[in-house]
Amino acid sequence: MTTTADELREEVRRRYAESALAVTQSSCSCCSGESASGTTQAVFGDGLYDAAQRGELPEAAVLASLGCGNPVAVADLHEGETVLDLGSGGGIDVILSAKRVGPGGVAYGLDMTDEMLALAQRNARDAGATNVHFLKGVIEQIPLPAASVDVVISNCVINLSGDKAAVLAEIARVLKPGGRVGVSDVVAEDHLTTEDRAARGSHVGCIAGALSRSEYVAGLEAAGLEDVSVEFTHAVANGMHGAIVRARKPSA
């Protein structure tokens, strides 16, 4: 049976809501609490952040980490910048970003799940982060004006979208001229077919919906971005990798 984009979005929303509610009871890992490789601690979650970063955060933010990388380290944030985290979950990357950009900067988190937004807002309060704003919405329709963001980050979320072209176009729209992308995501090797990726895991498990490296590069370039690179960092399944994705919007 073919899964529609709306059905996929609802399934992702439901699983993330369950993860948010579980944080106060037990730890959770991977994008959906499952791992295609069977070794979640090595490839997903808070283990991809160093001890110093974890020490900056409330425990609930660390427990709610569901990503496949560390986009804050990738993005090289600077004082005074405005940063947007797509699919911000429990807020770990938003809180870390807010600390990097300082009181003169702003960190936005966008999520579609009420339970995750509530958890993120609580975590931000516990962390004493005052320069953060959490927005409800979907990453295919970012509720921010054009050319309003210096940096877009995301952590194992773009692969969950049923319309990745729309996501990449929205990233380009909200970036200021010269703005940049620093994303962690699951990316497939180019030789894997759509069927190959589906055989390695579910959509909500971060695998089946993943773009290949060449598809990611082509999609970002089609959205009008340049200096695109996709660097594999660690294997998450056969032919599937956590990856660092970088790009830049041309200067005016």
Chain segment 146-167, per-residue pLDDT in tens: 999 999 999 888 988 889 999 9
pLDDT-derived band of residue 4, with 50, 70 and 90 as boundaries?
A: low
Q: Check pLDDT > 70 for residue 70.
A: no
Q: Give the contacts of 185 (CB within 8 A, at least 6 positions apart).
A: 68, 69, 154, 155, 156, 157, 158, 159, 210, 211, 216, 242, 243, 245
Q: What is d(CA 168, CA 187) in angstroms, rounded to the nearest whole number?
A: 15
The upper half-sphere exposure of residue 32, i.e. CA atoms within 13 Å in the direction of its Cβ, equals: 22
The count of other CB atoms within 10 Å of the CB of residue 28 is 24
The region of weakest confidence among 50-54, 58-62, 210-214, 223-227 is 58-62
Q: What is d(CA 130, CA 124) in angstroms, rounded to the nearest whole number?
A: 8
Our count of domains for the chain comes to 1
Q: Which pTM was predicted?
A: 0.79
Measured in residues, the chain has a length of 252
Residue span of the structural domain in which 203 resides: 5-248
The region of weakest confidence among 24-33, 64-73, 78-87, 214-223 is 24-33
Place of tokens 């962390």: 127
Q: What is the pLDDT of residues 89-138, one digit of tens each?
A: 888 889 999 999 999 999 999 999 888 898 889 889 988 999 999 999 99
CATH number for the domain spanning 50: value is 3.40.50.150
Given this model, what pLDDT does residue 166 score? 96
- Residue 53: C-alpha distances to residues 11, 61, 246 (Å): 31, 11, 22
Q: What is the mean pLDDT of the chain?
A: 80
